[in-house]
Structure 1
Amino acid sequence: MGIRSADDDEVRRIMRLAASRLLERLPELTDELVARTRDTDEAYRRMVPTDDHWQSVYEAMETGIGAILLPRPERRDLQQAERTARRRAEQGLPMDSLLRSYRVSAQVMWDGLVGVVTEEEPDSLPVLIRSATKVWNAVDRQAVAAAESYRRREAEMFGRTAERIQALLDALLEDRADAALVRSAAAALDLPELGRYAVVITRLPGRGGHADDGSRPAGLGGVRLLWRMRPDYEVAVALLHDEGVEELTEALRPHVLGCAGISPVVEGLAELAQARRLAELALRTCTGEGPEIARLEDRLPAALVVSQPELAGHLSAAVLRPVLALDPADREVLLGTLEAWLRCEGSAMRAAGQLYCHRNTVFNRIRRIEQLTGRSLARPLDIVELALALDAVRLLPAG
C-alpha cells in the first residue's frame, strides 16, 4: 500500500512539473495544434475563422493542462469542451471534425509532456508513461462532453430553424409579408424572390388530403415543393421552374387520396398569399367524391358560385326551385341528367352512355327540366344559369 502511494505521489509530481512547463509554452503549443488541424481538415479552414480557432484552442489547452494542477472538483475542462462544441455547432462544423481535433490535441499534449520530462528528468519517463492512460482518458472525457453538447445545440438550432421556416411560410401564405420579409424568406428557404409559383392545398375528410403513408414529396419532376401542415389540411408551395400547372397536377395524382386545389401561377413569393386564397377557392369546388384535383382555371364558374354562397343560393332557388321541390329520387335523376348533359357538351348520345340509358330517355328528361324551369338548353344565357344553379346545388350546403 505504501509503495503504491509513493508511486502515485511521484506520478502526480511529474505530471504537475510537466504541466507547469507546458503552460509556459502555451502559445507555441496552440500554434502547433491549430496548424495541424487546419492543414488536415478543410472544414476547419472553411467554417472556423483562424483567430476564433486559435483563441478557443488556447483557452482549451490552458484549461485542460491546468486541470492537471487542480483537484478534480475544481476542474473546468469539461465545461470548456461544452462551450467550444456549442460554438462549433453554431458555425456548422461537422462533429467528425470536432472530434478529430480532440485526437490531435491529445497527441500534441502528450508529445509536449514527454518532451518536458525528457529535457528535465529523463529518468522519470517510465513514471510519466504510467500516467498515459489517465491523460488519454481525460481527453476522451472532454470529447464525450463536447459531442453531447454539440448534439444538444444542433437539436436546438434545428428546432428553431424548422420553426422559423414554418413561420416564414405562414407569413408568405397569410399575406403578412412585406418586402424585407420576402427577402428574408427567399434566403432562408433558398427560393428566388421572383419565379413561377403555385400553391396546392390538399384535404381528406377529418384529416390531411395527402397520401396516408405520411410521405410528402419534396419534389416532383422539375417542381420543388415546400409543405406546411395543418390539423385538417396541408399546403404546399410549388416552385415550378419551367413546368406548368398541368404537369404539377399530373405529378400530384399518385400522392393525393382526397381533394386538392391548385392555384394559377403567380410570379413571385410576394404573391403567395393570393395564390393560397385561389387554391382554397379551387379546393371548395371539389365534390368530395373520390380523389379529385381541382385547378382553379378549370373551375372558374364553380369558383364564382362558392365565393358568393348567398347570391348562388338565390340563383339556385330561382332557377331550379321546381326541380328541387320534387321527391328526392326524381330530383336526383333530373339533376344527374343535367349534369351529364353539360359535362358531355350537349351530346345526348354521350350522356346516355354515362347514365346507362337510351338517348331518347336523356332527351325526355332534358325537356322535362326545360318545362319545370322555364329555361331552354338551346339558349346560351339559360345554359349559363342552369349550370351555375346546378353548381350551387352540388357545392353549397343544403338549406
Structure 2
Amino acid sequence: MAAVERVEDVPVDQAPVEALRGRLDEIADRWVTHIVAKNSGYLDTALVSLPDLRRSCRDNADAMLRLLAGDTGAEPYAVIRASARRQAERGVPLDSVLRSYRLAGLAVWQEAMDALPEPALLDVAGSLWMVVDEVSAEFATCYHYHRTELELLRMAEQRRRVMVDELLRGRGRESSFLEEAALKLDLPADSPYLVFAVEPTSAGRPGVEMPTETLAAGNFRSVWQVSGEALVGLVALERSGQEAVLRRLRPAMRGRGGVGPVVSGLGRVDEGYRLALTAMATLPPGSPGLAVLEDHLPEALLVRSPELADMLVRELLGPVLDLPGKEGRHLLTTLAVWIDTNCSVAHTAARLYCHRNTVLNRLNRLETLLDRPLKGRATFVAVSLALTAWELGQARP
C-alpha cells in the first residue's frame, strides 16, 4: 500500500479547526444521520445502539480534527485504533467502516460550510481529505492486525476443542497425543483428575457459573468445554483432593450435574466422563444439583441398565401399578416412607399424617398384591431397587 502523506506536513490555521471542535456535537449528529441514511448496513452489522454509535462518532470526529490541527501525539491515533479493535471483534466489514469514515469527512465539511467564513474553508479543504485518508489507512492497518489475531485465537480454540473431544473419546491412551494435549491445554498429564458433566438450565444458561475462575481461585487448573448437550470439566487434583473441588463448585451449580470418581491421569478422563454422565442421570431432569457417583451407586446401576430397571419395576411392582385411580401410588408412597424410616410403622404414620393402623393396612395390602412378605433381605433389596427404578422412571421425560 502506497504511503499516505501525513497531515502534519500540511500547515493548517488553528482557528478554524478549533471552531469546528467547538461544534463536535453537531458534526457527530450529521455523521450519524449520514450513516443511517447511506450506510445502514454498518449500523446493523455492528450491533450497536444509536446512542453508542453517536458517542463513537463524536470521539472519532474529535480525533480527526486534532489530526487536522497537527496534533502528532498518541491520543488521536489511540481512538482510531480502539475503534478498529472493536469493529474487528464485532466482525463489521472493513469496506463498510471505511465508507463511514468518508461520510465523516462529508459531515465535517458540511459543518465547516455552515460555520466558517470562505477563507477559512479554503484552508480546511486543503487538508481535510488527507486526514480522512490517513485515518482510513491507520484504521485498516489496525483492523487487519486484530482480525488476524482473532483468527489465530479462534484456530487455537478450535484445536483445544478437538483435543478435549479426543481425550473424551479415549485417545489419551496414546502417549504422543497425551503429551501434546497436556502441553496445549496447560494441564498436567500425571495428576489425578475429576471429570464433571453439567447440563444447562431450563433457560439455556450455563449450569455452573464461571467454573474455571472459581477453581483457579483455589489454585486448581481446569478446562471446561461443551460436548454434546453437556458442559464437561476436567479438573486436575495436583495439590488438594475431591472435597476441596466440590466445596468450591457446589455453590456455583445452577443446572443438573454429575461427577465420577477420581481417575488416574489425563489419559483416563474418558472413563471419568462416562461415569459423570451416569451420575448426572441419577438426578431428575431439570433438577439443579451435583450428584457424586459414589453417593448414588444404586441409582447408577439402574440408570446404566434402563431395560433391566423397567423389567424390575414391572415384575415386582406391576400388580400395584395396575390398580385403578391413585391407590397404587398411595401404596408405593407408603412403602417408600416405611423403608426410609427403617420399617417403623409409627414414624411412617407421622410422616404421612395418618393413623398407624392405616399404615399397617396398606402394608398388608402390599404383601397381598406382591405375593411376598416385605421382611427379609432379598425382598427388601429387590423392592428398594424397584422403588428407586420407579421413581427414576417417573422423572424421565
Question: Which TM-score applies when normalising by structure 2?
Answer: 0.57
| Cα gap change, 1:372 to 1:247, in 2 (>3 Å) | farther
Higher gyration radius (CA)? 1
Letter in 2 for 1:319: L
| 1:87-132 CA-partner distances (Å, limit 9, x unpaired) | xxxxxxxxxxxxxxxxxxxxxxxxxxxxxxxxxxxxxxxxxxxxxx
Give the conservation status (yes or no) of the 8 Å contact 1:263–1:276: yes
Distance verdict in 2 for CA 1:363–1:169, change over 3 Å: farther
The one-letter code sitting in structure 2 at the alignment partner of 1:248 is V
* SS of equivalent residue, structure 1 residue 192: coil
Structure 1 contact 200–262 (Cα < 8 Å) conserved: yes
Matched, 1:181 2:177: yes
Match of 1:193 among 164, 189, 192: 189
Deviation (angstroms), 1:208? 5.5
Letter in 1 for 2:161: Q
Report the Cα distance in structure 1 between the residues aligned to 2:136 and 2:270, rounded to whole angstroms: 52
- Structure 2 counterpart of 1:369, which letter? L
Equivalent of 2:233 in 226, 231, 236: 236
CA contact (8 A) 2:214 2:248 kept: no
Listed as ranges, the matches of 1:44-123 within 5 Å are none
**CA contact under 8 A between 1:203 and 1:209: conserved in structure 2?**
no
SS at match of 2:171: coil
CA distance 1:359–1:185, change in 2 (3 Å): farther
* Structure 2 residue 328 is the aligned partner of structure 1 residue 370: no
The alpha-carbon distance between structure 1 residues 167 and 251, as it changes in their structure 2 partners (threshold 3 A), is same
Q: In 1, are the aligned partners of 2:206 and 2:254 still within 8 Å (CA)?
A: yes
- Between the aligned partners of 2:293 and 2:237, the Cα distance in structure 1 is 16
Corresponding position of 2:163: 168
Counterpart of 2:268 in structure 1 is: 271
Q: CA deviation at 1:312?
A: 1.9
Which residue of the partner structure matches residue 255 of structure 1? Answer: 252
1:300 and 2:317 are equivalent in the alignment: no
- Partner secondary structure for residue 264 of structure 1: coil
> Helix, strand or coil: the match of 2:326?
helix
- 2:223 partner letter: L
Range with greater deviation from structure 2 (308-317 or 163-172): 308-317
**What amino acid does structure 2 have at the position aligned with 1:251?**
R
2:211 and 2:371 mapped to 1: Cα distance? 50
Structure 2: runs of 5+ lacking an equivalent: 1-8, 10-132
- Give the length in aligned residue pairs: 263
Judge conservation of contact 1:195–1:241 (CA < 8 Å) in 2: yes
Q: What is the CA-CA distance between 1:232 and the residue it aligns to?
A: 3.2
Amino acid at match of 1:163: Q
Query: 1:173 offset after TM fit, Å?
Result: 1.3
Shift of the 261–142 alpha-carbon distance from structure 1 to 2, 3 Å rule, reads same
Q: 1:290 aligns with which of 287, 292, 300?
A: 287
Q: CA deviation at 1:241?
A: 3.2
Give SS of 2:284's match: coil
Amino acid at match of 1:332: R
| 2:198 maps to which of 197, 202, 222 | 202
Within the candidate set 354, 363, 380, 1:383 is matched to: 380
State the match for 1:150 in structure 2: 145
CA displacement at 1:302 relative to structure 2: 1.3
Structure 1, residues 305-359: CA drift from partner, whole Å, max 9, x if none?
A: 1211222222211111111112342222222223333334444455445434455
Describe the SS at the equivalent of 1:218: helix
- Taking structure 1 as reference, are residues 263 and 359 closer, same or farther at Cα in structure 2, changes over 3 Å only? farther
CA RMSD, Structure 1 to Structure 2 (Å): 3.3
The residue that corresponds to 2:73 in the other structure is: none
The AA in structure 2 aligned to 1:372 is L
Query: Which residue number corresponds to residue 118 of structure 1?
Result: none
Deviates more, 1:243-252 or 1:226-235: 243-252
| Cα 1:346/1:295, change in 2 over 3 Å | farther
Report the counterpart of residue 97 of structure 2 in structure 1. Answer: none
Indicate how the Cα distance of structure 1 residues 202 and 304 shifts in structure 2: closer, same or farther if over 3 A, else same.
same
The structural deviation recorded for 1:175 is 2.0
Instruction: Please say if residues 195 and 269 of structure 2, whose CA atoms lie closer than 8 Å, have aligned partners that are also in contact.
Output: yes
Alpha carbons 1:208, 1:232 under 8 Å: kept: no
